[in-house]
């Protein structure tokens, strides 16, 4: 399907010749010659967006000459000019947790357009879409050679309904490909194979056009590919669906913060240590809604794998993206990963011709800057519940004890108050720990009794694209395992260990180096190719261990090489979660206890009873680099990605139907036709004031999309569990919220149902509870349904950074389906704010220093917001009346976070998909 470029771009359209290739492209220097402005000082990340304006300039219908000139003004104004623009990414990336509901919506839109008298074939992606199935594998089996195959078998058993549906979508929709299960994590597959740095396609005239590779993805860590100079970021599934259906993404020209890297990494440090410091610094700086671009002499010493790790965690530092310009390292990585030589030559020529190359003279204007000397980086971890909670490794044990003291005021760690416990089998307990005042519990683990306590590590997982995409830290982890094994060390028996690489290439080079055998020997067997622990698919820990933790109120811990450690995300049995490099994950599995100071204390004893310290098993930078050079080869990448869309025999045997619309199975508990478009009128309505709304929840700061829409497991006592039980689904088959995102009935019941969420309407209660219309405590779902029956609108109150974390569209979808009309918070994270608007829920921010606390909200108030039924302009301020339980009232002013003109239309239509569907129903069928 050809791209449709703008019709008013003749002055900037030029020809680029590379070898025997001759391609059209849109020239930024030509735009300068044409008098559109001086763009020479723009950061490369912003030049990518500028090229998009040049390519789609159409006289002002969506992109105007003034939009282009605004980029020159941005540089003149010191890196600021928040003009609204219409941006069109080249492609869309999905994973299955967010991709399944997106395809469900597309299927429902086909039903909807037929209901409006339109043609089902109008509902097709106009931009290429790749969906990678990576979020479904769960770690049921671990620590043995059978783990991988058994987990794959269970994955298919659990998810066959979803896989059948996705396979139908692959055949029913044009421009839509599925990467089957067991291949890798979407961001790693994107980085290693799908991304091209410079994309090519034919336009409506039939000529091949070269342009920057750009994308949006239905996962917040889409940003990882920015490490390869591919501009991309996460959006909610609803926004991605609009983009794939041809809708431009409405955005403001962003500020760009320059992050200068200088110096070189020191011996004994890793790219993970670097990124954890970067996250801490940028969170403190405040970069929400901004681009971050990395520059400086330090990039000359920073491999692309480390760049990708930094770019991956842009959601953790709050930025839209963390971009690295094209340079020699970009080309080297493309060559190593098997990209075509003609493409590599095109990338170099295009980048140099269009001002996107980072050379010695690269010195753009930035909105603001900060700097880091990489020579100051030390080994570190992050936790216990936020990625920005950076802790230098030598302070980790002390900081954990401080955390426990905060959780348990009577718990101290004074040196004089420690007791050494011995289990019944004669083994020393995991760590000298505080005695009478420490929480501890006996547990029988694999046939032996052990004492567990606050700080016992029960999960250690090498997982996530963030780090498994980086061969330096993966080889490093293998070498730590090899040295530990040689000395006779192994994981502690209470630690659930796992290795879940982001692509099959990782297994290829670990096996080529002989390191997989060493990892297996200490329990890090391959469990699958997918997100696993990082997305909450840790699987169950041993039942006796789980019971001991919960009966004893133990603060058990996990250590993972992932990017997220929010409360309740990793495992319902774990309250403290730490992010670490893969080598440190191995070390912590050997220690088995967060109270162990890895920089001073022994990890265990060798065969002769001698203490073994971290320094004894830590590999040198030279050792790692030599093995990377020997084993990470172009041939390995080419071999593993040769049949990436084919899948194994299991995938090939999945049967599906050949039809334009989906035959929704009425008995399915995984895929149901959502109610969004049922009974929809051909014309949009108008925006109404919110009158007499009740409060569904009052929430605190940093309420993440995990809090709003958890992805992990749930119990049969929950509303979602009761729904499934009523349909004869056994608890063993519940799977997870994430896997059931194609069923709105499950997801509505899971909204605001995180086990750690705290509704301030209730005193000291954790979990998804609130006060119902009768004033009694009940589940949020049941209260919302009762209010819906009464015809009462609902609002949510929140604190700062509301909606942080994953680009989880169900956090907005569920909010909408519960009947919430507005969310009122101190501030919003970018993606969730957009998702709320996309689902017809209006975000509001407090003004004038008001907060939920200064207003003294209890939950029995009534809220009315006026001014919505008039002519709304973006970012309007509107009056809000709060009527308290005693009848008194208070007037406050709220800022309406409908940020752009097109978002007003989305709200009028009831959401972005309704807007797109109505427009498509009216439009003539496009010629092929």
- Residue 8: per-residue pLDDT: 60
- Residue 195: per-residue pLDDT: 97
- Tokens representing residue 69 in the block: 């000139």
813-832 confidence digits (pLDDT tens): 999 999 999 999 999 988 79
pLDDT at position 438 over 70: no
Among 111-125, 469-483, 693-707, 852-866, the least confident range: 111-125
- Name the segment(s) of the chain with CATH classification 3.30.499.10: 383-632
Distance CA 55, CA 47 (A): 12
Strand partners, 202: 208
pLDDT at position 537 over 70: yes
- CATH class for the domain made up of 690-921: alpha beta
Q: Which residues, in sequence order, are CB contacts of 153 under 8 Å at separation 6+?
A: none
- Name the segment(s) of the chain with CATH classification 3.20.19.10: 690-921
CB 731 within 8 A of CB 721: yes
What mean pLDDT is predicted for residues 140-150? Answer: 92
Higher pLDDT, 244 or 59: 244
- Residue 540: per-residue pLDDT: 87
Q: Which residues, in sequence order, are CB contacts of 522 under 8 Å at separation 6+?
A: 481, 484, 485, 489, 490, 491, 497, 586, 589, 590
101-112 confidence digits (pLDDT tens): 889 999 999 999
- Residue 647: per-residue pLDDT: 87
The secondary structure of 867-910 as a DSSP string is: STTS---TT-EEEEEEE-TTS-EEEEEEEE---SHHHHHHHHHT
What average pLDDT does the structure give for the chain?
91
What mean pLDDT is predicted for residues 251-260? Answer: 96
246 band by pLDDT with thresholds 50, 70 and 90: confident
Nearest Cα to 441, choosing from 575, 553, 577, 543?
553
Strand partners, 496: 459
What mean pLDDT is predicted for residues 290-312? Answer: 97
Q: What is the DSSP letter of 206?
A: S
Cα dist from 162 to 136, 721, 743, whole Å: 10, 19, 10
330-383 confidence digits (pLDDT tens): 999 999 999 999 999 999 999 999 999 999 999 999 999 999 999 999 999 999
649-694 confidence digits (pLDDT tens): 999 999 888 899 999 998 999 999 999 888 889 899 899 999 999 9
State whether residue 688 is helix, strand or coil: coil
- Tokens representing residue 79 in the block: 């890196």
- Residue 425: per-residue pLDDT: 34
57-82 confidence digits (pLDDT tens): 988 778 999 999 999 999 999 999 99
- Residue 440: per-residue pLDDT: 80
Distance CA 526, CA 478 (A): 13
Higher pLDDT, 446 or 473: 473
- Residue 732: per-residue pLDDT: 85
pLDDT at position 898 over 70: yes
- Residue 273: per-residue pLDDT: 96
482 band by pLDDT with thresholds 50, 70 and 90: very high
pLDDT at position 920 over 50: yes
- Residue 430: per-residue pLDDT: 39
298 band by pLDDT with thresholds 50, 70 and 90: very high
Domain 383-632 has CATH 3.30.499.10: yes
What mean pLDDT is predicted for residues 792-809? Answer: 91
Among 260-269, 278-287, 531-540, 594-603, the least confident range: 531-540
- Residue 135: per-residue pLDDT: 83
Distance CA 497, CA 495 (A): 6
Strand partners, 298: none
As a dihedral over the C-alpha atoms of residue 460, residue 464, residue 467, residue 471, rounded to 10 degrees, the angle is 100
pLDDT at position 927 over 60: no
- Residue 582: per-residue pLDDT: 96
- Residue 138: per-residue pLDDT: 82
- What are residue 892's phi and psi, to 5 degrees? -130, 170
User: Of the ranges 19-23, 347-351, 904-908, which is most confident?
Assistant: 347-351
What mean pLDDT is predicted for residues 754-770? Answer: 94
């Amino acid at each position: 399907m050809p791209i449709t470029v703008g019709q008013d771009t003749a002055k900037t359209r030029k020809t680029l010749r590379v070898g025997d290739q001759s391609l059209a492209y849109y020239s930024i220097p030509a735009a300068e010659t044409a008098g559109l402005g001086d763009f020479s000082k723009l950061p490369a990340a912003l030049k990518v967006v500028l090229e998009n304006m040049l390519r789609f300039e159409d006289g002002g219908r969506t992109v105007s000459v003034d939009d282009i000139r605004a980029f020159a003004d941005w540089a003149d104004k010191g890196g600021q000019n928040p003009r609204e623009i219409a941006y069109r990414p080249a492609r869309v990336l999905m994973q299955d947790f967010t991709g399944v509901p997106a395809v469900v919506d597309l299927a429902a839109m086909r039903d909807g357009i037929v209901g409006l008298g339109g043609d089902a074939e109008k509902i097709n992606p106009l931009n290429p879409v790749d969906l990678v199935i990576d979020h479904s594998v769960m770690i049921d089996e671990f620590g043995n050679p059978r783990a991988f195959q058994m987990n794959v078998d269970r994955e298919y058993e659990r998810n066959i309904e979803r896989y059948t549906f996705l396979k139908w979508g692959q055949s029913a929709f044009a421009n839509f490909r599925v990467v089957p299960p067991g291949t890798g994590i979407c961001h790693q597959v994107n980085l290693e194979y799908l991304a091209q740095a410079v994309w090519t396609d034919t336009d409506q005239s039939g000529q091949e056009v070269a342009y920057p590779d750009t994308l949006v993805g239905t996962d917040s860590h889409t940003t990882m590919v920015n490490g390869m100079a591919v501009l991309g970021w996460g959006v909610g599934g609803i926004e991605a669906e609009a983009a794939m259906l041809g809708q431009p993404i409405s955005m403001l020209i962003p500020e760009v913060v320059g992050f200068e890297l200088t110096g070189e990494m020191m011996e004994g440090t890793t790219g993970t240590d670097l990124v954890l410091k970067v996250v801490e610094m940028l969170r403190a700086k405040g970069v929400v809604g901004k681009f971050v671009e990395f520059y400086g002499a330090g990039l000359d010493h920073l491999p692309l794998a480390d760049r990708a790790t930094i770019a991956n965690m842009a959601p953790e530092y709050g930025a839209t993206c963390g971009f690295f310009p094209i340079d020699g390292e970009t080309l080297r990585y493309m060559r190593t990963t098997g990209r075509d030589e003609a493409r590599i030559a095109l990338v170099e020529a295009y980048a140099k011709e269009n001002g996107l190359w980072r050379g010695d003279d690269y010195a753009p204007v930035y909105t603001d800057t900060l700097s880091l000397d990489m020579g100051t980086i030390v080994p570190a971890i992050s936790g216990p519940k936020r990625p920005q909670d950076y802790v230098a490794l030598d302070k980790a044990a002390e900081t954990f004890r401080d955390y426990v003291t905060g959780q348990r005021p009577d718990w101290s760690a004074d040196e004089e108050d420690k007791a050494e416990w011995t289990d019944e089998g004669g083994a020393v307990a995991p760590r000298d720990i505080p005695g009478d005042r420490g929480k501890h519990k006996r547990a029988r683990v694999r046939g032996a009794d052990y004492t567990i306590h606050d700080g016992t590590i029960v999960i250690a997982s090498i997982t996530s694209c963030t780090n498994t995409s980086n061969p330096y830290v993966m080889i490093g982890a293998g070498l730590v395992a090899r040295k530990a094994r040689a000395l006779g060390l192994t994981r502690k028996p209470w630690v659930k260990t796992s290795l879940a690489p982001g692509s099959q290439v990782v297994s290829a080079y670990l096996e080529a180096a002989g390191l997989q055998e060493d990892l297996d020997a200490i329990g890090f067997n391959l469990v699958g190719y997918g997100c696993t622990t990082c997305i909450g698919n840790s699987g169950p820990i041993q039942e006796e261990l789980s019971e001991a933790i919960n009966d004893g109120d133990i603060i058990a811990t996990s250590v993972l090489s992932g990017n997220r450690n929010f409360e309740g995300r990793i495992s319902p049995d774990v309250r403290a979660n730490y992010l670490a490099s893969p080598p440190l994950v191995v070390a912590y599995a050997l220690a088995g206890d967060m109270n162990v100071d890895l920089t001073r204390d022994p990890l265990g004893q060798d065969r002769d009873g001698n203490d073994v310290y971290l320094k004894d098993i830590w590999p040198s930078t030279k050792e790692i680099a030599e093995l990377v050079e020997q084993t990470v080869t172009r041939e390995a990448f080419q071999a593993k990605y040769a049949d990436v869309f084919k899948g194994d025999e299991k995938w090939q045997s999945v049967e599906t139907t050949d039809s334009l619309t989906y035959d929704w199975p009425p008995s399915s508990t995984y895929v149901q036709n959502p109610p969004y478009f049922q009974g929809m009128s051909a014309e949009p309505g108008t925006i109404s004031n919110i009158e007499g709304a009740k409060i569904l929840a009052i929430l605190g700061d940093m309420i993440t999309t995990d809090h709003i829409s958890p992805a992990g497991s749930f119990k049969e006592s929950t509303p979602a569990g009761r729904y499934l039980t009523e349909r004869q689904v056994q608890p063993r088959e519940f799977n997870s919220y994430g896997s059931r995102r194609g069923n709105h009935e499950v997801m509505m019941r899971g909204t605001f149902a995180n086990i750690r969420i705290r509704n301030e309407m209730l005193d000291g209660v954790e979990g998804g509870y609130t006060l119902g219309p009768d004033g009694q405590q009940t589940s949020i779902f049941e209260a919302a349904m009762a209010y819906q029956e009464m015809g009462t609108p609902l609002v949510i109150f929140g604190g700062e950074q509301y909606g942080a974390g994953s680009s989880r569209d169900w956090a907005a979808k569920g909010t909408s389906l519960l009947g919430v009309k507005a969310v009122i918070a101190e501030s919003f994270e970018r993606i969730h704010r957009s998702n709320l608007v996309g689902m017809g829920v209006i975000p509001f921010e407090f003004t004038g220093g008001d907060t939920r606390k200064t207003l003294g909200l209890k939950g029995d108030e009534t809220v009315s917001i006026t001014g919505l039924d008039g002519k709304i302009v973006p970012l309007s301020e509107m009056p809000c009346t709060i009527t308290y339980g005693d009848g008194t009232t208070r007037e406050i002013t709220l800022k309406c976070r409908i940020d752009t003109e097109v978002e007003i239309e989305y709200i009028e239509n009831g959401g972005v998909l309704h807007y797109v569907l109505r427009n498509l129903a009216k439009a003539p069928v496009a010629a092929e």
